[in-house]
Amino acid sequence: MTRVNVAMIGTRFMGRAHANAWRQVRAFCEPPVDPVMKVVCGQDPERAATAADRMGFGESATDWREVVARPDVDVVDVCTPGDTHAEIAIAAAEAGKVVFCEKPLANTVGEAESMLAAVERAGVLHMLCHNYRRAPAVALAKRMIDAGELGEIRHYRGVYLQDWIVDPDFPRVWRLEKARAGSGALGDIASHSLDLARHLVGEIAEVSGLLETFVRERPLEDGGGRGPVDVDDAALTLLRFECGAIGSVEGSRFCPGRKNHNRFEINGSKGSLVFDLERMNELRVYREEGADSGFRTVLATDETHPYVEAWWPPGHLLGYEHTFTHTVLDLLRAIGADRLPTPNFRDGVAIQRVLDAIERSDATRRWEAV
């Protein structure tokens, strides 16, 4: 296979990010398999048509069931809200398509498990899009850890902080409804930090979680009064990893000044790493190097750094959307080699189980096994 036809379901925020990745990957990187942007599917026909035109898809459609069944579609890219992932992904798998799904995989453990069962039953390749793994600085962190440069890992300290709902009159958008979003800060942002924890440190064994909703009623979007907020505004958890490391993760949307502050610090027996998404081209690295040791700021823009050779000379920054392009690149490489990429639906199930344990722990007020 030297070309694959891609159908993308969803046209909003994540749709734009994924479409950009499909468009850019061939211009800059050299994927072994070329993606053809075949069709984009959205509920509103006009919006879908505009999306196709601007984002570079050959055509648009409104019925995802028809799209995933098309014989000229090889890859289905699911970019819709989380409550629809299971249905679309399972249908795509049953139609024999490669399934690429935006995180969260699903809103519940049950859904996630059924999705994993579907892709495995169908024998199709599957990938979950946790894009931050492929920021070059994060991939560099992974490379250093795998090479043993940090020694034995002792601590993971992750936060993902935002401030977009600090105002109590910010409306109750769909992300604040449990029925649609599954959870609040927990699944939306803490899940990113938990994904990086699993990626960089290893499996999480048990958690002690705490969920809080500071503003419990908000104006409805249609202007008719106020409605309840039934998801968490903030989620905190202590962690014990299977490898013996300990840690903490926090997601909150109530941190003024923190726009997209996805930060982690990892301490091992031989060194430490610090990453902050708001300075995503940098990795701070500490190694014990005698009297003049110190945290160094590595600008992860050299051609030796992961994914960078495709882009610009040293010191020329990459941005948010490049993380998706790198993810799509690795998906195409996996397709080319006919092997399973990571993270995939197994990881999606694993993360969902961690989120579930945190919710259980918040309810029981005890440590809970994952």
Q: Which is nearer to its own copies, 16 or 178 (CB)?
A: 16
Q: Is 360 in the site for its own copies (CB under 8 A)?
A: no
Q: Is 263 in the site for its own copies (CB under 8 A)?
A: no
Q: Is 216 in the site for its own copies (CB under 8 A)?
A: no
* Interface with its own copies (CB under 8 A), residue from 134, 157, 192, 326: 157
Q: Is 187 in the site for its own copies (CB under 8 A)?
A: no
In angstroms, the CA 262 to CA 249 distance is 10
* Interface with its own copies (CB under 8 A), residue from 15, 21, 22, 26: 26
Which residues 191-210 are close enough to bind its own copies by CB under 8 A?
208, 210
Q: Are 241 and 247 a contacting pair, CB within 8 Å? A: yes
Which residues 45-84 are close enough to bind its own copies by CB under 8 A?
54-56
In angstroms, the CA 89 to CA 101 distance is 7
| CB neighbour burial string for 247-277, b if at least 16 within 10 angstroms, e if fewer | bbbbbbbbbeebeebbbbbbbbeebbbbbbb
Whether omega before 35 lies within 30 degrees of 0, making that bond cis, reads no
Q: Which is nearer to its own copies, 308 or 349 (CB)?
A: 308
In angstroms, the CA 42 to CA 50 distance is 10
Q: Is 259 in the site for its own copies (CB under 8 A)?
A: yes
Q: Is 148 in the site for its own copies (CB under 8 A)?
A: no
Minimum distance from residue 120 beta carbon to its own copies (Å): 34
What are the tokens at 50? 């505009």
Q: Is 358 in the site for its own copies (CB under 8 A)?
A: no
Q: Which is nearer to its own copies, 225 or 291 (CB)?
A: 291
- Counting residues that bind its own copies (by CB under 8 A) gives 88
In angstroms, the CA 291 to CA 150 distance is 19
